[in-house]
Amino acid sequence: VITQICIIGAGPAGLLLGHLLRAEGIDCVVLERHTPDYVLGRIRAGVLERVTVDLMERLGLDARLKAEGLVHDGFNLTDGERLIRIDIAGLTGQHVTVYGQTELTRDLMDARHGRGLEVVYEAADVALHDIESDAPFVTYLKDGVQHRVDARIIVGCDGFHGPSRKAIPVSVGKEYEREYPFGWLGILADVPPCNHELIYANHARGFALASQRSETRSRYYIDVPLTERVEDWPDERIWDELAIRLGPQAAAHITRGPSIEKSIAPLRSYVFAPMRHGSLLLCGDAAHIVPPTGAKGLNLAASDVHYAAEALTAFFRRGDNDAIPAYSDRALARVWKAERFSWSLTRLMHRFPEDGPFERAMQVAELDYIASSRAAQTSIAENYVGLPV
Ligand code: FAD
Ligand code: DHB
């Protein structure tokens, strides 16, 4: 197969980019290791920034998002005693949209045939070749048969564990990394949310988050040591822990129900720079990871895709040779700010095992400051709602 762009990975980043390129009349092929059902089975992000909603709107694929997505004008921080409401709409004039990553991915997936976007699912052993040349190619195995895609540009949208980033020689890049000593245990259940807005809680027993997917579907998280296994957390144990950590007010409104999904995700901050080498660009989790506090992961993937689509369109449609080399710096400027926000909100809302009385006093002082300062609340709100693209 000969094409202009080969995209590796059909998560939100790969599918969004594929659709944007097709809308510009640029040829591309997307290679995905798993089946569509497997990709849709992974329950992940739930809060969309404007950049993500805008891309869906530009593609004309936002009908269901507009109909079913929940507009949230604020969210809450609590230490169990007081509830600090961050009035996103009042402080920034904007809002976030609660709509599951699964639903967004499904909308992009369902539109692929109608829009002429070719996605090869169950592509095994995907490997990148000659990325430092102007004629790179990708090989993969499908139904036991070896295939080859020749492209001008390869875009790695294959998540943190994919082969794209690993194809860049370590000597040309730099890795920045911070691991956290806990993971988030998530539970999804068909019960009404305990509150109409999200609540992030820092309790003596640890972090908790009350989120949602709709008026009848709730998503909750608690942080647990990395040594914990999902099997050790029957539903009732999670509901008990949530009731304690979210505090009595929220607990009074928690509706319990059987879990539809339960999983533990490790927390990590990670950036690989640069996000381009030769004819290979990286987008989304393939280049960076944020801890989930702040809901930035999916939205950063979308802003990368926005910059990448602009650069690729300038190159393929207008012959602009500077656009692709400029991609990495443009994307990283926004990535680093989201890394900072996610790291600082994680620091504020979790009890770290190594923390002593001083670190805890700093958390209390920061929450006091946020509770009493419009400037502090504005800073949190403008980061949460998403910095400009
Ligand atoms: P991905 O969604 O990871 O997609 C990458 C795709 O590439 C996948 O479909 C994968 O199958 C495919 N792929 C991988 N390897 C290969 C290969 N060798 N060949 C071909 N294809 C390949 N963010 C939040 O904001 N809130 C959350 O609650 C949240 N929870 C998360 C929970 C988990 C367990 C994880 C891993 C992430 C979570 N995130 C969350 C982050 C958010 O989901 C990601 O930032 C987002 O999925 C990034 O999209 P992406 O398209 O870059 O990568
Ligand atoms: C969700 C996940 C997040 O990481 C977050 O900050 C808010 C909401 C969610 O899955 O609903």
- Ligand closest to 197 (CA) is 2
- Check: CB of residue 28 under 8 Å from CB of residue 21: yes
Q: How much distance in Å is there from the Cα of 284 to the middle of ligand 1?
A: 8
Sign of the C-alpha dihedral computed for residues 185, 51, 67 and 112 taken in this order? negative
**For 286-307, what is each residue's pLDDT tens digit?**
999 999 999 999 999 999 999 9
Catalytic residue among 12, 19, 72, 291: 72
Atom 3, ligand 2: residue with shortest CA distance: 295
Strands (E) in the chain, as ranges, are: 5-8, 28-31, 47-48, 70-72, 75-78, 83-86, 96-98, 118-120, 124-129, 137-142, 145-150, 153-156, 174-189, 199-203, 206-214, 217-225, 259-273, 276-277, 280-282, 288-289
Number of Cβ within a 10 Å radius of residue 329: 13
Residue 81 pLDDT: 82
142 is catalytic: no
DSSP code of residue 230: G
Mean pLDDT, each 10-residue run in order, the chain (389 residues): 97 98 98 98 95 98 98 95 95 98 98 98 98 98 98 98 97 97 98 98 98 97 97 98 96 97 97 98 98 98 98 98 98 98 98 97 97 98 97
DSSP code of residue 111: T
- Check: CB of residue 317 under 8 Å from CB of residue 26: yes
Q: How much distance in Å is there from the Cα of 42 to the middle of ligand 1?
A: 8
Number of Cβ within a 10 Å radius of residue 343: 17
**Distance from C-alpha of 304 to C-alpha of 288, rounded to nearest angstrom:** 10
Q: Could you tell me the CA-to-CA distances from 62 to 101, 107, 321 in Å, in that order?
A: 13, 8, 32
180 is catalytic: no
**Distance from C-alpha of 131 to C-alpha of 328, rounded to nearest angstrom:** 16
CB of 167 shorter than 6 A to ligand 2: no
Q: How much distance in Å is there from the Cα of 324 to the middle of ligand 2?
A: 32
In order, the DSSP letters of 272-284 are EE-SEETTEEE-G
Residue 134 pLDDT: 97
Which residues 6+ apart lie within 8 Å of 249 measured at CB?
83
- Check: CB of residue 30 under 8 Å from CB of residue 14: yes
Q: How much distance in Å is there from the Cα of 158 to the middle of ligand 2?
A: 21
**Distance from C-alpha of 3 to C-alpha of 31, rounded to nearest angstrom:** 13
247: left (phi over 0), alpha (psi -120 to 50) or beta: left
Ligand 1 atom index nearest CA of 186:
28
Max CA pair span of the chain: 64
Residue 6 pLDDT: 98
Structure tokens at 190: 């068909």
- Ligand closest to 214 (CA) is 2
**Distance from C-alpha of 291 to C-alpha of 275, rounded to nearest angstrom:** 19
CB of 45 shorter than 6 A to ligand 2: yes
Residue 80 pLDDT: 78
**Distance from C-alpha of 315 to C-alpha of 127, rounded to nearest angstrom:** 25
At residue 307, what are phi and psi to the nearest 5 degrees? -65, -40
